[in-house]
C-alpha cells in the first residue's frame, strides 16, 4: 500500500520525463515529454534525443493475449518501442507494440502507429500512413514561418494578432 501511495505521489509531483526514467524508459537528451502513458512495461521503450511527445499519447508494449489464454494459459507477447532522434509526436497518438519510429519524423495528432516508420517522413491517420517526405513538408511549410520562437507569450500574442490571414496555415 505504501508503494502505491509513493508511486501516486511521484506521478503527481514529478515531471513526466523524470517519472518515465524512474519507470525504466530510456530517454535521450533535450526531450520534451508531456503527459504520456507508458503502459505496463515502460522499460521496453527507448526514446532518442530531441524528441517531443505531446499530451495524451499512449505507448503500448503488449496487448491482446488475454483472448488466447483459455487455449494457452501462459500466453503473453511484447514488442519494444523505439523512437529515433528529432521526432515530434502530436497529441493523442497511439504507438503500438513493436513499432520503431525513425529519426526526423513528424507524427500527426491522433495517429495510430501500427507499423514502423522510416526516417525523414511525416505520417498521420488511423492506421498512420506516410503523408510526405520531411523535405516536401519543409518546402510547403516554410512560407508560413513567422519566426516567433523565443518570443515571450505576450510578444507572440501581439505579433500573431498583427498578421494577415494569408500568413496563417489554411486547410
Indicate which residues carry an active-site annotation: 62
CB 104 within 8 A of CB 88: no
Taking Cα atoms as reference points, which of 102, 66, 60, 101 lies closest to residue 78? 60
Nearest-angstrom CA–CA distance, 21 and 114: 24
How far, CA to CA in Å, does 64 sit from each of 67, 69, 72, 110, 159?
A: 6, 10, 13, 21, 50
Amino acid at each position: 500500500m505504501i508503494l502505491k501511495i509513493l508511486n501516486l505521489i511521484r506521478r503527481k509531483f514529478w515531471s513526466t520525463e523524470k517519472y518515465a526514467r524512474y519507470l525504466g524508459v530510456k530517454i535521450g537528451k533535450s526531450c520534451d515529454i508531456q503527459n504520456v502513458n507508458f503502459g505496463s512495461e515502460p522499460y521496453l521503450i527507448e526514446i532518442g534525443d530531441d524528441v517531443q511527445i505531446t499530451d495524451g499519447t499512449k505507448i503500448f508494449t503488449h496487448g491482446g493475449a488475454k483472448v488466447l489464454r483459455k487455449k494457452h494459459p501462459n500466453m503473453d507477447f511484447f514488442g519494444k518501442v523505439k523512437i529515433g532522434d528529432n521526432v515530434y509526436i502530436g497529441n493523442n497518438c497511439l504507438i503500438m507494440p513493436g513499432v520503431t519510429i525513425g529519426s526526423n519524423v513528424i507524427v500527426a495528432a491522433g495517429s495510430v502507429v501500427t507499423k514502423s516508420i522510416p526516417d525523414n517522413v511525416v505520417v498521420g491517420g488511423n492506421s498512420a500512413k506516410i503523408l510526405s517526405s520531411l523535405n516536401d513538408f519543409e518546402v510547403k511549410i516554410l512560407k508560413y514561418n513567422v519566426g516567433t520562437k523565443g518570443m515571450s507569450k505576450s510578444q507572440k500574442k501581439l505579433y500573431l494578432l498583427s498578421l494577415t490571414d494569408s500568413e496563417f496555415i489554411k486547410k
